[in-house]
């Protein structure tokens, strides 16, 4: 039986594609099976609940599904976040998550239909823009760019378990530390990280921050590096994902090197995402692999275009845990 046919069986067959928001009966298990078929990778129900269904910014995330005769052919998630710009203004935005089309349904313009529906939904809920996190070659990025989205350079940074890390100093690493008071330090003007001068995601309460940063499907290991730098690492299979790093800018190179080397000692891979321009030169010096990408921002209406265009020249401080 086709994925979702059971939950959409009551929908009459139709030749024309139909876009549905949060179709009745859709659960995390069937969602995981569908997303896995779109991307050719394994998604668990727990992963789908965390990435595609976690409430944020006071609004629950939504699933947008394109169906053909009641059969799901394409879909995406829309998760809500709050951006804070350096002038102190707050902006509601929607993050496009897991946009995919089944292999046999590609090349028919279904993604464009999903994107139009996401724009409409985001605008209705007061979003200034939709954001997409893409590699440079990703088709999703091209679709956003064709609609006038701005593109902020980003980096997908990785190291294999045996790739040499160039000579570097190390910080003392303390694992399994308490994170009770970590919320509130994020992007604060006193931490020396420069985050307060960048566009960044804002989490209005400690509960929302923990839901996004700590209560993740694979569990989080909090780490302290030196005396002033903090990190959250999620171990997914054989990969240590640096989800969040906060501390003085001067310690950032050494902190990244320490974490990457630590992953290698455990025979793990290492991954991090960054929009910080200096990280690209840093990791190349360390010998880590960098896949170029873009953070795309698309205004949901003409009236928001000047605001979004203004973000083009601002520095961004977005981390891996902000994306999903």
CATH number reported for the structural domain that contains residue 176 in this entry: 3.40.630.30
What confidence score (pLDDT) does residue 240 get? 94
Q: Are the beta carbons of 220 and 253 closer than 8 angstroms?
A: no
Return the residue matching tokens 């809500």: 80
One domain for residues 263 and 167: yes
One domain for residues 239 and 118: no
Q: Cα 148 to chain center, whole Å?
A: 21
Mean pLDDT of the chain: 84
Which structural domain, as residue segments, surrounds residue 116? 18-127
One domain for residues 285 and 162: yes
Domain final residue, candidates 106, 127, 148: 127
Give the CB-side neighbour count of residue 50, counting CA atoms within 13 A.
19
| Residues, the chain | 324
One domain for residues 267 and 170: yes
- For 10-69, write each residue's pLDDT tens digit: 444 456 889 998 887 778 888 888 889 998 888 888 888 888 777 766 677 788 999 988
Higher pLDDT among residues 129 and 162, named by residue: 129
- For 300-322, write each residue's pLDDT tens digit: 999 999 999 999 999 999 999 99
In a domain, 143, yes or no: no
pLDDT class of 164 with cuts at 50, 70, 90? low
The whole-model pTM stands at 0.86
In a domain, 140, yes or no: no
Number of domains in the chain: 2
One domain for residues 195 and 270: yes
One domain for residues 175 and 253: yes
In a domain, 141, yes or no: no
- For 199-216, write each residue's pLDDT tens digit: 999 988 888 888 888 888
Would the pLDDT of 193 be above 50?
no
pLDDT class of 284 with cuts at 50, 70, 90? confident
């Amino acid at each position: 039986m086709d994925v979702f046919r059971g939950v959409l069986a009551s929908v009459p067959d139709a030749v024309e594609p139909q876009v549905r928001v949060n179709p009745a009966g859709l659960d995390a298990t069937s969602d995981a099976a569908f997303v896995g078929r779109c991307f050719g990778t394994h998604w668990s129900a727990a992963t789908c609940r965390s990435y595609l269904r976690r409430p944020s910014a006071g609004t629950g995330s939504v699933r947008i599904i394109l169906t053909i005769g009641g059969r799901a052919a394409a879909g995406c998630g829309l998760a809500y976040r709050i951006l804070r710009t350096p002038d102190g203004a707050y902006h509601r935005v929607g993050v496009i998550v897991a946009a995919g089309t089944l292999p046999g349904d590609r090349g028919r313009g279904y993604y464009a239909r999903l994107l139009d529906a996401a724009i409409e939904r985001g605008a209705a809920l007061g979003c200034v823009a939709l954001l997409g996190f893409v590699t440079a070659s990703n088709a999703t990025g091209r679709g956003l760019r064709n609609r006038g989205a701005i593109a902020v350079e980003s980096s997908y940074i990785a190291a294999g378990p045996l790739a040499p890390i160039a000579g570097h100093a190390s910080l003392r690493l303390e694992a399994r530390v308490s994170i009770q008071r970590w919320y509130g330090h994020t992007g604060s003007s006193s931490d020396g990280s420069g985050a307060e001068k960048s566009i960044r995601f804002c989490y209005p309460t400690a509960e929302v921050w923990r839901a996004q940063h700590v209560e993740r499907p694979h569990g989080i290991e909090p780490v302290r590096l030196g005396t002033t730098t903090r990190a959250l690492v999620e171990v997914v299979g054989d990969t240590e994902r640096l989800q969040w790093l906060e501390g003085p800018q001067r310690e950032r190179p050494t902190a990244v090197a320490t974490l990457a080397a630590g992953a290698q000692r455990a025979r793990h891979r290492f991954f991090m995402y960054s929009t910080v321009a200096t990280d690209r030169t840093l990791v190349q010096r360390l010998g880590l692999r960098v896949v170029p990408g873009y953070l795309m921002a698309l205004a949901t209406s003409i009236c928001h275009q000047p605001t979004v265009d203004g973000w083009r020249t601002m520095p961004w401080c977005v981390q891996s845990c902000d994306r999903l």
